[in-house]
Amino acid sequence: METIAQVLKVDHVTVLTTDEDVRAAEREQWDDGTNFLAVAPGVVLGYERNVATNTMLRHHGIEVVSIVGSELGRGRGGPRCLTCPIERESAL
């Protein structure tokens, strides 16, 4: 975390975690609880089914825009994954 803070030129990096037991945490991760899309400072998009993660983020002052995503998640991707283009133009 110290190296990340140095690269980002900030004093420190805060790692947020939920207060769940191991089984609940695994379920939340399987439901893409770690796959959020930051759209602005302090604003993220995430699946509404990730109640524990959304609650924890809101508790820390982060605005969570919840999306339903029952069909979107069938491919095992979340809001961040869904914004990544499959085909890109060459950078050269």
- Annotated catalytic residues are 81
Q: Collect all residues with Cβ–Cβ distance below 8 Å to 64 and sequence separation of at least 6.
A: 36, 44, 45, 46, 54, 57, 58
Residue 5 CA: distances (Å) to CA of 8, 61, 88: 5, 20, 30
Q: First vs last Cα of the chain: how many Å apart?
A: 33
